[in-house]
C-alpha cells in the first residue's frame, strides 16, 4: 500500500492585515485548525493592540483603541463589509407633525450624514461576567444633506416645495450598549452580539429647506423660521430614524469584525504592552 502523503498546512489567508483560521485535511481525514500567525495581526489594521480582560485598566485600553479605530472605520473596508461612513447614507428621514394648527410632512430620502470622524469616545463599561458593554460617545455636530419633499399646511396656509435640505444637529450624546454570547470555532472563542440599544440625546437642531413655495423668499424665510422655532417637536420625529441608522451601523461593524477576530485575541487573558 503506498504511503499516504499528508499535505502541509495550507497557506494562511491574509484578509486586510490579519490571518484568518483555515482548516486543512490530514491523512486521517480529520479537520484541524492551523496556527494563527502573530495574534496581534488578527486585529483589523486600525486596531494596533489588544486589551487584556484581566487588566484593571481595561476600560482605559478600550477607550484608547476605540478612539484609534474610529478614524480607520469611517474610511470603510469592504473586506469587513464596512461601508464608507463620511458621508454615511441614511435611507430616509421623515417628519410628520399633525396638530389642529399644523399639518406638516417632510421626507428626505437617501440623505448623507457628515461628521462621524469627529466622534469622541467619552467612557466605557465592560463586564465579562454579565457579558455586556456600554460605550459612551459625544459629537459636537453632525450635518445631514439631501433632497426633500414637503406638503401640508400651517394655519390656513398650504405648504409645498422640494429641493435641497440641510439638517444640522448639535451636542450629540449617545451610547452603544450591547450583550453577547460566546461560541467556539476552530478551538477559538468568538463573540455573537445578542442584544443592543442606542440611546441618543441631541442638544439642538436647525433645518433649512431650499425652494419652499417655488422659491418665494418671503414665504420660504418665514416657514423656515417657524420650523426652527418648533425644532423640539420636529426632532422627536427625526430622532428614531437617526438613532436606528447609527445603531444598525454600529452592530453591523462590530458583528462583522467579531466573525473574523476571536475574543481570545482581542481580549486575551494576559497581555504585555511592551511586547513587540
The pLDDT of residue 21: 31
Cell readout for 171 is 451636542
The pLDDT confidence band at residue 44, using thresholds 50, 70 and 90, is low
Query: Averaged over 38-57, what is the pLDDT?
Result: 67
For the chain, the 3-state helix, strand and coil shares in percent, each to the nearest 5, are 30, 45, 30
Query: Has residue 272 got a pLDDT over 90?
Result: no
Q: What is the pLDDT of residues 65-106, one digit of tens each?
A: 888 888 888 888 887 778 888 999 988 888 887 665 567 888
Q: DSSP state, 161?
A: E
H or E, element range at 205: strand 200-209
Please write down the HEC assignment for all residues of 57-68.
CHHHHHHHHHHH
- R_g (Cα) of the chain, nearest Å: 25
- Span between the terminal Cα atoms of the chain, in Å: 49
Q: Where are the domains of the chain?
A: 51-266
The pLDDT of residue 203: 97
The residue written with cell numbers 421623515 in the block is 94
Q: DSSP state, 34?
A: P
The pLDDT of residue 17: 31
List all residues 6 or more positions away from 7 whose beta carbon is below 8 Å from its beta carbon. Answer: 24, 25, 26
- Lowest pLDDT segment from 168-182, 241-255, 261-275: 261-275
The pLDDT confidence band at residue 51, using thresholds 50, 70 and 90, is confident
In whole angstroms, give the CA distance from residue 153 to residue 265: 58
The pLDDT of residue 46: 58
Cell readout for 242 is 437617526
**51-266 — its CATH code?**
3.15.10.30
The pLDDT of residue 20: 31
Amino acid at each position: 500500500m503506498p504511503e499516504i502523503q499528508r499535505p502541509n498546512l495550507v497557506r494562511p489567508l491574509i484578509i486586510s492585515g490579519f490571518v484568518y483560521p483555515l482548516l486543512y485535511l490530514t491523512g486521517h481525514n480529520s479537520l484541524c485548525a492551523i496556527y494563527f500567525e502573530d495574534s496581534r495581526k488578527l486585529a483589523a489594521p486600525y486596531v494596533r493592540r489588544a486589551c487584556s480582560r484581566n487588566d484593571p485598566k481595561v476600560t482605559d485600553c478600550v477607550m484608547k483603541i476605540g478612539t484609534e479605530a474610529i478614524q480607520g472605520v469611517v474610511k470603510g473596508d469592504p473586506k469587513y463589509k464596512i461601508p464608507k461612513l463620511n458621508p454615511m447614507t441614511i435611507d430616509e428621514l421623515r417628519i410628520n407633525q399633525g396638530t389642529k394648527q399644523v399639518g406638516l410632512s417632510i421626507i428626505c430620502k437617501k440623505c448623507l450624514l457628515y461628521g462621524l470622524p469627529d466622534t469622541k469616545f467619552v467612557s466605557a463599561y465592560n463586564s465579562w461576567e454579565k457579558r455586556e458593554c456600554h460605550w459612551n460617545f459625544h459629537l459636537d455636530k453632525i450635518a445631514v444633506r439631501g433632497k426633500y419633499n414637503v406638503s401640508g399646511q400651517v394655519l390656513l396656509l398650504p405648504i409645498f416645495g422640494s429641493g435641497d435640505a440641510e439638517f444640522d444637529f448639535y451636542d450629540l450624546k449617545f451610547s452603544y450598549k450591547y450583550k453577547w454570547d460566546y461560541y467556539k470555532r476552530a478551538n477559538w472563542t468568538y463573540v455573537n452580539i445578542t442584544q443592543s440599544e442606542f440611546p441618543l440625546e441631541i442638544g439642538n437642531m436647525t433645518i433649512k429647506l431650499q425652494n419652499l413655495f417655488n422659491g418665494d423668499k418671503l414665504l420660504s424665510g418665514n416657514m423656515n423660521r417657524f420650523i426652527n422655532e418648533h425644532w423640539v417637536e420636529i426632532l422627536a420625529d427625526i430622532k428614531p430614524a437617526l438613532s436606528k441608522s447609527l445603531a444598525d451601523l454600529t452592530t453591523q461593524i462590530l458583528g462583522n469584525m467579531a466573525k473574523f477576530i476571536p475574543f481570545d485575541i482581542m481580549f486575551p487573558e494576559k497581555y504585555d504592552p511592551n511586547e513587540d
